[in-house]
Structure 1
Amino acid sequence: WYTPTPFYSSLEAALLNFRPSAPVFRMLEVSIPTPHRYVRGKSNLMDAISFVLGEKTSNLRVKTLRDLIHGAPVGKPAANRAFVSMVYSEEGAEDRTFARVIVGGSSEYKINNKVVQLHEYSEELEKLGILIKARNFLVFQGAVESIAMKNPKERTALFEEISRSGELAQEYDKRKKEMVKAEEDTQFNYHRKKNIAAERKEAKQEKEEADRYQRLKDEVVRAQVQLQLFKLYHNEVEIEKLNKELASKNKEIEKDKKRMDKVEDELKEKKKELGKMMREQQQIEKEI
């Protein structure tokens, strides 16, 4: 019997018809290895603990579950049933009993004497930090050497399995892909935002150039209008001046015409007088 110093939690295990030389035992803090000199049939004990903790048959050095049932002494009928039960005790909490029973060629799992499915059994053990798949509850002969011989990738896979981080690998990969996509989206949005900013800047410059062109065009139109108005104004002034000059010339022409008429009238009178005088002269000459 081996009784180490007790800690806050303990395991009690009981065996019936399980492998030769496997005693009923009590072990406190099963994580403390049992010295060779204290317990006989150490491998069987390891198998018993592995068995009750849900280990696969293939990892228990047997071909079938029946091989785990202890043979009967001479003269007694052979047993067809075996079990290993384990009581988990923790300070401040109720004890929990885990049991695995071999009946014929199949296993039956119980928690607190209630039959449960293997996955329920495993989930309760996982709550205690015992991972069946990772086999992190016992270190078998040659396991340390086997771990030491693993390459870094294999050791990483083992540690991930023991720490259960491997269970999150799919979620991790999913999150990583989401992160990569988010980073890509961020980069895309950054470049898109940058391009949009450049396009907006270019559009703003083009608009400013268009506005400037329109202002210049409007100024040219206004200048042309002013020029036409200026020309029109000066044309009107010139026309008015010419009209005044024309009116003045017309007045002078009218005066000259009146003078001409007067001269013509005087000329007619003179012609009449001349004709009269010539007739008188002719009369006088006739009389002479």
Structure 2
Amino acid sequence: MTESLDRRLHPVRPDLAAKAYEGRVTADRFVEGETRRVAADLVDLKGAPRPDKSIDTQALFGETVTVYEENAEGWAWGQLATDGYVGWMPASALAGPAALSLPTHRVMALRTYRYPYAELKSPPLGILSLGALVSVVDRQTLRGLDYAVLSDGSAVVERHLVPAGHRVEDWVAVAEALTGTPYLWGGRSSLGLDCSALVQLAAQAGGMALPRDSDMQETSAGETLDIGNGLPELERGDLIFWKGHVGIMRDRETLIHANGFAMAVTSEPLADVARRIREREGHAISTVRRLVAS
């Protein structure tokens, strides 16, 4: 028995599949998988275990990955818990769950340095993006600055964090704060991102878990608005879709989106974007969806 499954969301290959798919698909063997956490600031997920393959998406520090295989070249094949994305990543970027305790907080600043200890003058260990997850075990204050001490002994500035379950009221403001962030195909961090990652990261700050790619968001994010007789009266936070692209309405007329035209997150009149995409790519607006916070 074999189902046609999207490789991006289902850990299934002809030679190996997750145990949960046994009886549904044909594979040489089925495995339970092992829980790991991302121990690198940022790690690329790819469709094949090769450094020259393009980035499908990225995993952030502290996120959970179920690993189903590690090969001799140091690649791990697994599924990201945040949005279910499946791909290959360097095994060296992952640690066992004991090495990184259960996350208690999320990075809410666009990015924050992680120091070896609570001292901003110390050489940083790395830089964490908006959305990264950390486990806070202590707090320290040095020269009037409060630090959150993490489970591995490192430290970040406390005001850059929020509790893991925190929700902002105006999630579009998070997208606006990312204005100027470079466009990166497959990117999913404040260092570089693509159109659907901008939507996903901003919505996450508002407590809404969205799928990773624009085609997935177009079929499942929020509620569909009728555009049979033209565009409805748009509201802040409405999502506008074209084939392969998505943006967020800042108001009734202005769209913010990560785009390859500007190679950055920019805001511009929706009418201008729609005209340009129609003229350059031949695509009209295909769907409008409105997110509803649960």
Check whether TM > 0.5.
no
Shorter-chain TM range is under 0.3
Q: Which has the higher helix share?
A: 1
Query: Which one has more relative contact order, counting CA pairs under 8 Å at least 6 apart?
Result: 2
Structure possessing the higher radius of gyration over alpha carbons: 1
Higher strand share: 2
TM-score normalised by structure 1 residue count = 0.20
